[in-house]
Chain A
Amino acid sequence: MKTLFTNARLIDPENGTDRPGALLVENGTIKELVYGGNPDLGVAAVDCGGKCLAPGIVDIGVKVCEPGERHKESYKSAGMAAAAGGITTMITRPDTLPATDSPETLEFVARRANEAAPVNVLPMAALTKGRAGREMTEIGFLMDAGAVAFTDCDHVITDTKVFSRALTYARSLGALVIAHPQEPGLSAGAAATSGKFASLRGLPAVSPMAERMGLDRDIALLEMTGARYHADQITTGRALPALERAKRNGLDITAGTSIHHLTLNELDVADYRTFFKVKPPLRSEDDRQAVIAAVREGLIDTISSMHTPQDEESKRLPFEEAASGAVALETLLPAALRLYHSGDLDLPTLFRAMALNPAKRLGLYSGRLAAGAPADLVLFDADAPFVLDRWKLNSKSKNTPFDGARLQGKVRATYVAGTCVFEAP
């Protein structure tokens, strides 16, 4: 079966191009890209109407609350939200209840994902049992069961002996380890980034230096062990020189950042708005600018939604007590397009960070517009304006910081292996 996407603005992150053209899909795989004019192949055609056609987003670090807290988010609701947000592959987090730390739990997750989610779901597993930082999980069995990476999420493994052994063991299997660079002694109890704003609001705060200290430690452990490593979120300017040096020295390291740290800063918390409480906390405007520049230069490789559903009860609390995290599957693309409309990042750069680089890091051949790649695609109107209403989100939890925000960029359709999984009404 062949489908031709005509009259499209093709966003090709691999070649860094943004040009009008057509794209031929055959049996769920991209067959050919045709630039300049629409070929007449006599096959079923989708007229893109001059809108953007880009590789579907590969989102590392999505929290789906199965098992344990299905009232916050299920594979069905998360899958629908992802499809509506142009995300074709969710890389799910193991910080479930209980933690996804055994092949049995992982099989449950994989089964639920296959049954309920219309997009690709690739699970991550915990690096240590119960994410407690004491004993490593069955990394080999978990890889056999389909784990694409290993992470304790926001739990920092403080015992460096445990962490270095887990890294060494993971290296022997070629497993990717994803860590949360943070010095936990400094960040304990913090609800904001230290600075004028936190002082004015009287919030317990963490120095942005805690991130660099955590990263410095992890880099030293990488030098020791040679493991494959990805930092989940780099959010401060101070951490960037260390990352750059580590890359230059040839360590197998990549880094991501979250859409919230790219598009919001600490002042957005305003009068203790808990939907803006994320982990790590929102940073200063200087840090935000530094992180945008690092994405532009490719120093920061990936952008994630860091989708973290929280119910109303866990957010309707005083700021210090409120849970961290924000839902973002459906707002990732429109929020990222703020950076395009502001002239900070072009579309191929955005999709390099949201699709190509995450796919490459996980050894997937998606995330690109290339012959032979799976036809995981998102068709979107980069300019269409709208005001976000959180009650219209597909996610079961509605904790978005963008409620009421004016955004630009609507997904028209999402395709997974050539099959349409979402079409805008």
Chain B
Amino acid sequence: MSFSQSHLLGIEPLSPSDITAILDLADQYVDLNRREVKHSDALAGLTQINMFFENSTRTQASFELAGKRLGADVMSMAMQASSIKKGETLIDTALTLNAMHPDLLVVRHPHSGAVDLLAQKVKCAVLNAGDGRHEHPTQALLDALTIRRAKGRLHRLSIAICGDIAHSRVARSNILLLGKMENRVRLVGPPTLMPSQISEFGVEVFEDMREGLRDVDVVMMLRLQRERMDGGFIPSEREYYHRYGLDADKLSHAKPDAIVMHPGPMNRGVEIDGEIADDINRSVIQEQVEMGVAVRMAAMDLLARNLRARPKEVLA
């Protein structure tokens, strides 16, 4: 099992075998997490720092749990409350961190490319926990693992990603990952929420949701941010729900065994009907959360192996 990267900044630089390496190891960690004693020493002695420059509950908790289960010393910093308010630049923050000798750095930032910038300046392995509208690689990986376990494969599937594609890093990472693994990706949403020239990414774009969901294996819903519902991008919440909310009628156009996914947190009654979200035969939303911890354990484990394989003077 080999993993070619020293950071996990996005799906873009990963090869299909990198992706498979993470997913295969994550499968093992799913088993570990279901045992009574959920502990391994893969990261023992290493320090993991979570830096979230943007609010997050789930992703931060998931990374924290993943690090702790692997025996790392984990510290979480809520950056929006601290030095960034005092005018410290990202580069200064990186220099400060270097002095603390972390081994794994998990970063979320509201601006695209900010995690790449930080990764150039720190000496440890960096994991992107979401940067602006750019990428959210661990979300795409946990989605991939969920699909692979539910469908038995991660290729030649037809997958619809629905909703606010334009502002979504989850959508970008998923488009890249599912494309690399040779799936057919459809994007469904109003044109005001589609990035420009998105059709050049090798995807099919649908404005009509029923048409977009026809015969798909996977329906992946995206969260619609509250601040985008007030007439700027879509006329209103209720019109959005009518045209793009996932309900039983729209879902009936997908394959009978199609699964329903959502990265959370959900807006019930905005992008998804509550009953569908809770339907244990269709919804894999709870599994996604479970896979999230396992995928993050796998990613950090693989990065730590590469870190330990580096020559000592580089580590110092």
Q: Assess whether A201 is in contact with B113, with CB atoms less than 8 Å apart.
A: yes
Q: Assess whether B113 is in contact with A319, with CB atoms less than 8 Å apart.
A: yes
Q: Assess whether A272 is in contact with B117, with CB atoms less than 8 Å apart.
A: yes
Give chain B's interface residues, CB within 8 Å of chain A.
Answer: 12, 89-91, 109, 111-114, 116-117, 131-135, 169, 172, 195-198, 200-201
Q: Assess whether B197 is in contact with A271, with CB atoms less than 8 Å apart.
A: no
CA distance A382 to B195 in the complex (A): 43
Central interface residue in B90, B133, B135, B201, by most chain A CB within 10 Å: B133
Central interface residue in B89, B114, B196, by most chain A CB within 10 Å: B196
Q: Assess whether B89 is in contact with A313, with CB atoms less than 8 Å apart.
A: yes
A189 to chain B, nearest CB (A): 12
Residues of chain B contacted by A202 (CB below 8 angstroms): 112-113, 131-135, 169, 172
Q: Assess whether B196 is in contact with A318, with CB atoms less than 8 Å apart.
A: no
Q: Assess whether A198 is in contact with B90, with CB atoms less than 8 Å apart.
A: no
CA distance A271 to B119 in the complex (A): 12
B27 to chain A, nearest CB (A): 30
CA distance A203 to B112 in the complex (A): 6
B107 to chain A, nearest CB (A): 11
CA distance A202 to B201 in the complex (A): 13
Central interface residue in B111, B116, B132, B172, by most chain A CB within 10 Å: B111
A77 to chain B, nearest CB (A): 25
A129 to chain B, nearest CB (A): 30
Central interface residue in A199, A271, A321, by most chain B CB within 10 Å: A199
CA distance A196 to B203 in the complex (A): 13
Q: Is A194 an interface residue (CB 8 A)?
A: yes
Q: Which DSSP category, helix, strand, loop or mixed, fits chain B's interface?
A: mixed
Q: Assess whether A271 is in contact with B113, with CB atoms less than 8 Å apart.
A: yes
Q: How many A-B residue pairs have CB under 8 A?
A: 68
CA distance A178 to B92 in the complex (A): 39
A310 to chain B, nearest CB (A): 14
Q: Assess whether B195 is in contact with A272, with CB atoms less than 8 Å apart.
A: no
A282 to chain B, nearest CB (A): 15
Residues of chain B contacted by A313 (CB below 8 angstroms): 89
A286 to chain B, nearest CB (A): 12
CA distance A356 to B28 in the complex (A): 72
Nearest-CB residue, chain A, relative to B195 = A199
Q: Assess whether B196 is in contact with A194, with CB atoms less than 8 Å apart.
A: yes
Nearest-CB residue, chain A, relative to B9 = A271
A321 to chain B, nearest CB (A): 6
Q: Is A165 an interface residue (CB 8 A)?
A: no
B97 to chain A, nearest CB (A): 16
Residues of chain B contacted by A200 (CB below 8 angstroms): 12, 172, 201
Give 5 nearest A-B pairs by CB, closest first: A272-B113, A202-B134, A202-B133, A199-B195, A318-B114
**What are 5 residue pairs bridging A and B, where the CB atoms are less than 8 Å apart in the complex?**
A202-B133, A202-B172, A318-B90, A318-B112, A319-B112
B93 to chain A, nearest CB (A): 12
CA distance A127 to B172 in the complex (A): 44
Q: Is A195 an interface residue (CB 8 A)?
A: yes
B17 to chain A, nearest CB (A): 22
CA distance A204 to B110 in the complex (A): 12
B221 to chain A, nearest CB (A): 20
CA distance A252 to B272 in the complex (A): 58
Q: Assess whether B113 is in contact with A318, with CB atoms less than 8 Å apart.
A: yes
Q: Assess whether A321 is in contact with B111, with CB atoms less than 8 Å apart.
A: yes
Nearest-CB residue, chain B, relative to A312 = B91
A184 to chain B, nearest CB (A): 17
- Take A200-B201, A202-B133, A272-B117 as given contacts and tell me if A318 and B111 are in contact as well, using a CB distance cutoff of 8 Å: yes
